[in-house]
Amino acid sequence: IGYMAKLAEDAGFQNIWITDHYNNRDVWTTLAVLSMMTNKINLGTGVTNPYTRNAAVTASSIASINELSGGRAILGIGPGDKATFEKMGIDWDKPLTRVKESVLAIRAFLAKEQVNQAGFKGAQMAFSTSKIPIYIGAQGPKMLELAGAIADGVLINASHPDDFKFAVPMIRQGAEKAGRKPEDVEVCAYASFSADKDPVKAINASKIVVAFIVAGSPENVLERHGIGMDEAKTISEAIAKYDFKSAMATVTARMTEAFSVSGAPVDCRARVDELLQTGVTQIVVGSPIGPNKESAIKLIGKQIIGK
């Protein structure tokens, strides 16, 4: 991962976002290593949550990464992944309230204030840090509005302009209601991205990721992209049986178009431009990146970022 991070930094990427799922590699260990192996790229949690980690501990962790990296840390935090919480025996109680209270508490911790909110009773950090931006991972209308009201940025799991035509006005509404300028909130498209010189290879590489997105999408999102519940059900059933081959075979062109930015660099660049027109300000190159990650990072640097 250190090698890939350095490659991304050299290719001109500005931020690295590391996911937080209990069953995958630990986000803080990874960010600590990346802090030491990179020089200028920003490093963020994309995204952690207030259920598996206490907000005071999260404040200490992100402040430590900020110190290790020379001020390059960004905290991404969201309500978390419901499916994994069920398996961990964690109650997903009032996620909106929980994210809001945690963001405000973490901000207070990072300002070295004594914290007496969100259940804390006078807790306080013993060390100071420079300002760390806080981004919220959001999908639902209320979470998007909350992000507009209190966050420095919002990370949205989507790849198609239509999803941002829905999301951006909600973020702006949240910002305006809170008396902020909409442009104070960075809008990041956390996209499933796949680039290759050969567009067919690029699209094929995105299919397994797209299959999981289709299976996990709510009905209104599928409807927005003209995908039937029956089609999604076929894919979910194949995934439930670990039959990934059938799941991928059932992924249609409409699905890859809706749920990924994939193709030759020129196709990806055209989609990036469309996304930027909806009010998106940052594109996150998410899984799979490309059929070959290493060459895709270089290709994206040269032919997409550099254009």
Residue 137 in tokens:
């991972």
* Minimum gap (Å) between residue 15 Cβ and ligand F42: 13
* Minimum gap (Å) between residue 231 Cβ and ligand F42: 22
Residue 226 in tokens:
């003209």
Residue 128 has φ and ψ, to the nearest 5°, of -100, 160
131: exposed, middle or buried (Cβ count in 10 Å: 0-12, 13-18, 19+)? exposed
> What's the CA gap between 59 and 56, in Å, rounded?
5
Among 44, 46, 174, 279, binds ligand F42 (CB under 6 A): 46
Considering the rule CB under 6 A, would residue 96 count as an interface residue with ligand F42? yes
Among 95, 148, 290, 291, binds ligand F42 (CB under 6 A): 95
Residue carrying structure tokens 């420095």: 152
Residue 123, beta-bridge partner list: 115
Residue carrying structure tokens 């991070």: 5
Among 9, 50, 106, 137, binds ligand F42 (CB under 6 A): 137
Name the segment binding ligand F42 (CB under 6 A); options: 93-101, 244-252, 268-276, 289-297: 93-101
Q: Is the peptide bond before 288 cis (omega within 30 degrees of 0)?
A: yes
Among 13, 166, 190, 259, binds ligand F42 (CB under 6 A): 190
* Minimum gap (Å) between residue 303 Cβ and ligand F42: 25
Cβ closer to ligand F42: 199 or 216? 216
Q: Is the CB of residue 190 less than 8 Å from the CB of residue 165?
A: no
Cβ closer to ligand F42: 90 or 96? 96
Q: Is the CB of residue 83 less than 8 Å from the CB of residue 52?
A: no
Q: Report how many helices (DSSP H) and strands (DSSP E) the chain contains, helices first.
A: 14, 8
Among 140, 169, 182, 301, binds ligand F42 (CB under 6 A): 140
> What's the CA gap between 129 and 165, in Å, rounded?
36
Residue nearest to ligand F42 (CB): 140
Question: Helix crossing, 27-37 with 2-11: angle to 10°?
Answer: 50
Q: Is the CB of residue 5 less than 8 Å from the CB of residue 16?
A: yes
The number of residues that bind ligand F42 (CB under 6 A) is: 25
Considering the rule CB under 6 A, would residue 169 count as an interface residue with ligand F42? no
Among 115, 143, 151, 261, binds ligand F42 (CB under 6 A): 143
* Minimum gap (Å) between residue 116 Cβ and ligand F42: 21
Among 156, 209, 227, 280, binds ligand F42 (CB under 6 A): 156
Cβ closer to ligand F42: 46 or 265? 46
Cβ closer to ligand F42: 177 or 245? 177
- The helix/strand/coil state of 290 is coil
- For binding to ligand F42 (CB under 6 A), which residues are involved? 19-21, 46-47, 49, 78-81, 94-97, 137-143, 155-157, 190
